Structure formats: structure tokens, C-alpha cells
Amino acid sequence: MRTDVEIPSYGERLGAWHYTADSDALTGPGGRPCVVMAHGLGATRDAGLAPFAEKFAAAGADVLVFDYRGFGTSTGRKRQSVDHRAHRADYRSAIAHARALEGVDPERIVLWGSSYSGGHVIAVAADDPVIAGVISQGAAMDGLRAVLLILGYAGPGQLLKLTGHALRDVGHMMTHRAPHMIPIVGPPGSTAAISSDDGEAGYSKIMGPTFRNEMRARGILPIMINRPVTSAHKLSMPVFLVVAAHDTIAPVSAVEKVAQKVRGLVEVERFDVGHFDIYDGETFEKSSAAQVKFLRTL
């Protein structure tokens, strides 16, 4: 029930999968709900998202899973450019596409995000009150707190190195040279955007064939101003938050702050696992079942 589609977004085409609902269980007078999904920092749609999409489709929802511009099979001149502002714009393009799908109720669009995109869906929904619901797992809700985590596990020297690489890439951009790249993830002590103890093993466990372990170094700079927590008070639709209690990449305290700020109904599902353990095994089965239960209420 999955087809390859392309979604127009700011002059480019987003590579995407469209899952058609397997049943009419969630179909209402206006049509079926549609879950719009994308991945986290530098990740692509073939990195552990299909099992979630299949669960939602089996429950009776359409699902649209897309890659950001410049990643995976999407077009884009700025390849491997991590920028939350551009990613959120792509979410909006995907939402517009979902609302036009045959049989989909345009007022029952549900946003789903994980890790970096777990924060994107909060910010995007804050500007679109027609969104029916939000599911966010292991989310990066506050870039400032994420920097404090890096200080904790890697020290100030790591931040200085990353900032130096970012400024070098800015220099390349200003002088029209090829972008200066750094790894998205690497072992502890390496010069990578993520170098936590579980980062490299976690990415290796879920990444698919289109993932490239590199990003434009300038992408480090906007991370600190990426603070979806500041938009949470605007949300009046139901929100489902999955917390990985031992997360070393996305600060749990920021997710808990979002839960306090949202004006609508909030459900929190907490697991005593790390950031990457939410994608498979027993945690996936329990979490995805709870997410489907939430979807049925919308």
C-alpha cells in the first residue's frame, strides 16, 4: 500500500512515501486522517520510520513520509544542509500536499516527529491551528539545553572545535567555495555534531541506504536558536509526547517543559531507555501501540 511520490517545496521536489490506509476504521464524514512524518538531524525517511508508518496505515490513516530538501532522494542544490527553518518549511509543503490527497480529511492532519523533527512538529503546529494532533518522540525541544548536554559529555573544547568548523564553512560560503563538511555522528571525542557515547551505535542501528554521514558545518550555528519550547504555549490541539528518560542527545527537561506549556490535551509516555531505543524492540511495540491509540481519538 506504499507508493513513491514527489512533493513540491520551494522550487524543489521532496522524495516521499504515501501509505494509503489499510481500512476505513478511522474514516469520518470528511475523510481519513493523514500522518505527516519526517526524521531528525541529517536522517532520511528510510531510517526506522517505515514501521511507525505501517502501524498508522494499519489503524486506518494515510501516512506521508518525506525527506527534507537536499537529503535522501529529495532534490536541492544545498545538499546536506541542516537548518530547522528550512525543514519546517518542508513540513508545511508536505502538509499542503497531504490536505489535497484524495480521501483525506484536510482538517485531520497529524504531525509526527522524532529527535530533531520532534521539535519541528511543535513549532509547525504552533503556526497552524487546524492541525488535528501532534506526536513527538525523543524530541529536541531546546537547542540551548542541548548545548549544555554537549558540554556535559564532551566539554567546552568540543563546542569550540565545532564552532570553528562552522565558521570555516561560513567562510567557504562567502567566498563561493565548496562547503566544508563535518560528520553528523561520530565516536566520543571526534569532531561530529553528535559524539555522545550512544550516538554512533544508535545511528548505525537505524540508518538506511540513503543516509550520508555528513553535513555542512555551518548547520551547527542555528542549533542554539532552535527552541520549539518557546512555541508550545500556542498549541491547543492534542499532543502526544514520548520521553526517553535516559536520553543523552535531546534534553528530557525541555520535553517536560513543553508538556507543561501546551494548552490542549497532553499525553506523556515515558520509557526508561536511551534516545535510539525508541525505534525498535519492546519499546517500539509499546510506544507505537500508544501512538495508534492516541491517533484513534482525533
Q: Could you state, in order of their start, the residue ranges of all structural domains in the chain?
A: 2-143+226-295, 147-215
Please report the pLDDT score of residue 159 as a whole number.
Answer: 85
Q: What is the pLDDT of residues 134-168, one digit of tens each?
A: 999 999 999 888 777 776 777 788 888 999 999 99
Please report the pLDDT score of residue 149 as a whole number.
Answer: 73
Mean pLDDT, residues 195-207 taken together? 91
Report the distance separating Cα 76 and Cα 180, nearest Å: 17
Q: Which CATH architecture has domain 2-143+226-295?
A: 3-Layer(aba) Sandwich (3.40)
* Average per-residue pLDDT for the chain: 95
State the pTM of this model. 0.95
What confidence category does residue 6 fall into, taking pLDDT thresholds of 50, 70 and 90? very high
Please report the pLDDT score of residue 245 as a whole number.
Answer: 96
Please report the pLDDT score of residue 41 as a whole number.
Answer: 94
Looking at the chain, the whole-number percentage of residues with pLDDT higher than 70 is 99
Please report the pLDDT score of residue 152 as a whole number.
Answer: 72
Please report the pLDDT score of residue 146 as a whole number.
Answer: 79
Does position 26 have pLDDT exceeding 80, yes or no? yes
What confidence category does residue 212 fall into, taking pLDDT thresholds of 50, 70 and 90? very high
The closest alpha carbon to 132, from 101, 99, 84, belongs to 99
Please report the pLDDT score of residue 173 as a whole number.
Answer: 94
Q: What is the pLDDT of residues 249-268, one digit of tens each?
A: 889 999 999 999 999 999 99
Does position 85 have pLDDT exceeding 80, yes or no? yes
